[in-house]
Chain A
């Protein structure tokens, strides 16, 4: 999507949106939200070199022959069941087993301080901390239960660093996914396996995050939208947008119009082109409504339309001037230009009816939590 809209590119970054719990028990703590992002970016090491350094830890041990702080026991099982509202009779009485999903709980270090991981695991987390990826959330937990745990069982566990991802952009910030796999044993018997994935990330600055509570964010604090990717093939398109003119490429060989902008004509292969200015009339050819996850520069829900211009080409843009849930295929829309900040002008598409409602569609009924 060479001349595609910036928000479409932005959404692509949201394929992974972890937003949950922190990491492996108490082994890592949250840091106050400050500008770690900048620090991460300032780490002048090329990304691939850093990633190579992280990859070295794949396959190394994260914990070796650790012993659970408490044997499997009835009081902890009862406290768990009370908290979960779990009344399964299998978890009480003389033949009680522990709820299988308690597996990780038996490996937790609790409040009384904790044994750090192995040298390798500490080193890996330290590398990420030093590069600004100081926060952690748990994203995945995969457990397999091979034999039940019963009161009196003493567990031991080993853990290995299974993988370290490439750098990922998520709603929380950029970071790396670290996956560990733990084997939990009773004596020589494997009782269960526990694969756990955390995201070590550089948290967005507080001002970049959705405000707490129902109050809408102050628009002046809103982070700016992502920039379009401008290259030599589409530069003239974006220059036109800056001047509030929507230019369509036209092959001077066969006269075919095209969008997005390309070096050559798909119809005849011709390389020469000129432009025609769009009339600004169009209809919604298709659309999606973006609800979740919210992203700092945007206020979901909002409608993203594939607009068929009167001239015949199609392009993507926000559909405004109508509530997001009233956008329909075939809706007539008219081109407008919106200045989102001092640098960024984008073409948007306003419904030709109910234009007075503009703003409602953009801001939406949804409040950030």
Chain B
């Protein structure tokens, strides 16, 4: 693996089930993540994904690619366009730096209305994983 390597993209269909399951699994019971009517009353067109689920998906994207021996060290994300039901988010990543056994990956998750998430993940791989 080298600086500049691109990770294969991961498409995540944004279903109501994913939004609700992610919210509940992260113990986030804010109604804007499960109740469309209350979400509308608060000015949102529909329910939308919570930040903890986005964080989890970004982590999964990295470990799916680098494998179970990869260890996440840092995940830093910023949210932009919300993930609403019916949309699709495509995660892409690019290795920005490699230092010994540690790589820094720039991640972008784009949906139909813009960039849902941009962020940086620092991940450590055991030496056998072929970091150069």
Contact = CB atoms under 8 A, between A and B. Distances in A.
Say whether A associates with B.
yes
Nearest to A100: B72
A243 interface: no
B102 interface: no
Interface in B22-71: 22, 24-33, 38, 40-43, 45-46, 48-60, 63-64, 68-69, 71
A209 B82 CA distance: 15
A369 B42 contact: no
A211 B40 CA distance: 10
A213 B55 CA distance: 27
B80 interface: yes
A88 B63 contact: yes
Contact of A84 (B53, B68, B114): B53
A175 interface: no
Contacts of B68: 88-90
Nearest to A86: B60
B104 to A, nearest CB: 13
Question: Most chain-B CB neighbours within 10 Å: which of A79, A143, A209?
Answer: A143
A105 B30 contact: no
A32 B74 CA distance: 36
Contact of A86 (B31, B63, B77): B63
A105 B114 contact: no
A145 B52 contact: no
Contact of B55 (A76, A89, A143): A143
Majority SS of interface residues in chain A?
Answer: loop
A84 B79 contact: no
Interface string A273-297: 0000000000000000001110000
Given A33-B42, A101-B59, A203-B43, A138 B113 contact: no
Contacts of B45: 210-213, 369
B51 A292 contact: no
B43 A209 contact: yes
A86 B25 CA distance: 13
Contacts of B58: 101
B109 to A, nearest CB: 12
Contacts of A86: 56, 59-60, 63-64
Given A21-B49, A101-B72, A142-B74, A80 B42 contact: no
Contacts of B26: 80, 83, 102, 104-105, 108
A2 interface: no
Given A21-B51, A26-B29, A32-B41, A84 B74 contact: no
Nearest to A193: B74
A99 B27 contact: no
Contacts of A203: 42-43
Interface stretch (A12-20, A42-50, A228-236, A320-328): A12-20
A79 B64 contact: no
A45 B26 CA distance: 39
A362 B38 CA distance: 33
A292 B113 contact: yes
A145 B116 CA distance: 23
A29 B73 CA distance: 31
A143 B43 contact: no
A135 interface: yes
Contacts of A85: 12, 60
Interface in A244-263: none
Interface string A100-120: 111011001111000000000
A51 interface: no
B53 to A, nearest CB: 7
A353 interface: no
Interface of A: 17-22, 25-26, 29-33, 69, 76, 79-80, 82-86, 88-90, 99-102, 104-105, 108-111, 135, 137-145, 148, 203-204, 206, 209-213, 291-293, 369
Interface of B: 12, 18, 21-22, 24-33, 38, 40-43, 45-46, 48-60, 63-64, 68-69, 71-82, 84, 112-114, 116
